[in-house]
Structure formats: C-alpha cells, structure tokens
Structure 1
Amino acid sequence: MDSNEFWVFGYGSLMWNPGFEVEESRPARLHGFRRSLCVRSWVHRGTPDHPGLVLGLDRGGSCRGMAFRVSPERWGAVVDYLRERELVTHVYKERTLPVTLGDGLRKPALAYVIDRAHHQYAGALSVEEAAIAVSTAEGKSGPNTEYVTNTLAHLREMGIRDHWLEDVGRSVERLVNGG
C-alpha cells in the first residue's frame, strides 16, 4: 500500500454508513469479486433455525462500490473499527485488493471478502433460493426483507445497478405480496 495513502472499499452498508472519518470518497470498482447475498445471518437478520442472508464479496465478476481515503493519522483507529465491525464471526477475510477509481486510477484498498470455508457461507444461491430465505427470515435488527429493500434503495440513490440483487428484491416482493 502506498505509504501516504490508505483506502477502504465499501460494497454494502459501508458505502452509505462508513462509521469513520473520510478524507475523500470516490466511486470504485473491484474486479474479481461480486456483491452477493451469501452470508447466513443468525442474529441480526435471522436466527440459527431460520437464517437470513446478508451481503458478502464473493469470487467472480466485479463490484461497483465506494473507495474511502483515510488520513494517515487515523489508519490504526479505522482498521481497529473495521475489524470490530466486520470480523465479529470471522466470516470475512481482510484483504488488500486493487480497486479502480472512477477516473481509471488504481489504488490498493482494504476490503472484506467472504471466507468460503466458513460455516456462515451460503454459497452461490439462485435468485429464488435467496428470495425465499430473505422473505421469511427475521432477526434482532428486523426483517431480512427490510435489509434487502434498504440496500437496494441506497444503491439506486448512488446510481449503482446490481441486477442480481434487484432480481432478488423483485422476487422477495412477489413472495411477500403473494404474487
């Protein structure tokens, strides 16, 4: 990583709620990973008996998100904060990966990718499999449907299209509304 720059890549709630002070935020793309509802949620959006699904970065494709530049004097505190936020059950692995900023400039960025060997990894689900899990799960942070709807609304506000997640959202809506 450039000794003068520290970037963090966000692909889900981190994009609109980083939780740390940012020097600069820029649209970015991470190649080789895609946004996916591939993490079983047993607390916040589901239960152990009826897990919900939350986002992870899984292998394959690419993902549009946001890159955040953090000032050098805050690096340690930001990494500590992110580890506390993202590594609670260690379903994610902390990696430094190259992201491409909107102007084509490539920067190394800290990112959290799914650990496919972790017991919370749900695998590559079809739209219907994901929609069924989401439409029926609820945890201490609320219904899983709320999580997906909120994520899609934020992505739309940011001008980011995620066709697979949008398909899941439409399917969830049909299941919930009985259509």
Structure 2
Amino acid sequence: MSANTIEHNRIRQNFEGVSSIWLFGYGSLIYKVDFQFLERRPATIHGWERRFWQGSHDHRGTPEAPGRVVTLIKSPNAACKGMAYRVSPSVFEHLDVREKNGYLRFATTLTFENGSHAEGLVYIATEDNEAFLGHAPDAEIARQIAGATGPSGPNSEYLLRLAESLRSLGDSCPHTFAIESHVRSAAGCDT
C-alpha cells in the first residue's frame, strides 16, 4: 500500500448523518492538538500496544533519513492509554492529511477512566504500508530517532514530548520509556 493514505481514509467510513465521533490518540495526537474538539477525555484501548515501528519521512524525518513514530501492534493482553477526543467528522479533512504517511482509520472500542465505553476511530499504520519499518532493538530505534529531523522538527522532540505526555496520563509504556532512556543517555542528559 502507498504511504499516502489520504484517499484510502476518505472512503473508509461514511459520516453521513453523524454529528460527532470519538477519535483515539496514542502518539502526537495526545500533545499536538491542532484541531477542534468538542470534548477530551483520557481513554484506553485494549488488544494493542504502542511501538516506534512506523517510518516518518514527511514530518519527523526525510525520505533519505526517515524518523520513527508510533503505531499500534496487535497484542491480545495489552492496553494502550491515550487521549480521546469527541470531534466533528469535518476534522478528518485535516487529520487525514496530517496522518497520511501510512495511517488508516480503524474502528475501536474506547474505555474511559470511569469504566464507560464508546466506539471511536484510531489511526494505525499497518505493516503493509511502504513507510512501515518494523521491529528493531530499542538502542537502534533510539539512534535513528536521535539522528532524524524533518519538516515538523527533530524526531527526538516527538519522542520526548510523547514520553512526557504518557507520564502525565499515568501510563507506563516500557517501549517508549526505554527508547527515551537511550536517547537521553546518548545526549548526556539525565532521565
């Protein structure tokens, strides 16, 4: 599948007659909220875990030196904490462009902190897109992140802001925090 998923996403869901829908963010959508929303609440989705397995040659890297950003990988007993936004369907005109580098919208069940549930959408970059990089050792992922910069800034900024946001949500993401530790150690920073 092409890395550019704008048109794929525009035909995936029919929003006719829908006034609002929940959107789940687990990466930059937690901290970079450049869209209007009607409501925002911490939430969790089950059966998925966050991984820095997606290449970014349009935001946090270049085609010659792609960065790494997160996607979700199926994992039956896992839970991924993030932020849910109730949005107007018109928001996807912007988000489909922002998330165009291999991400497709999928339906998912969100669980809120009070135990209630809602159906929503989540952007996931699956392994069949051209920008998918897949598994690598944490230290190797950290080296790639530390050396990548793109139009949206340094890839390390994405990682550090995500780690900070996850801590604010009370999430424990060993994968993200291990990579953060490698990047900070390489830069001579304290964790």
Same fold (TM over 0.5): yes
- Which residue number corresponds to residue 166 of structure 2? 155
Q: How many pairs are equivalent?
A: 173
RMSD: 2.4
Residue correspondence of structure 1 range 11-90 to structure 2 within 5 A: 11-60=26-75, 61-70=78-87, 74-75=88-89, 77-87=90-100, 89=101
SS at match of 2:172: coil
* Structure 1 outlier segments of 4+, above 4 Å: none
Match of 1:93 among 81, 100, 104: 104
Unaligned runs of 5+ in 2: 1-14
The aligned counterpart of 1:132 is 143
Q: For residues 12-46 of structure 1, give each alpha carbon's deviation from its aligned partner in whole angstroms, at most 9, with x where no partner exists.
A: 12123333332222111111221211111223222
Identity %: 32
What TM-score do the two structures reach when normalised by structure 1?
0.85
CA offsets, 1:82-130, max 9 Å, x none? 212212x3x1111111111111112111110112111211112221221
Q: Is 1:9 the equivalent of 2:24?
A: yes
Extract unaligned runs of 5+ from structure 1.
Answer: none
Q: TM-score, normalised by structure 2?
A: 0.80
Secondary structure, counterpart of 1:21 in structure 2: coil
* 1:4 positional shift: 6.9
Report the AA paired with residue 79 of structure 2: S
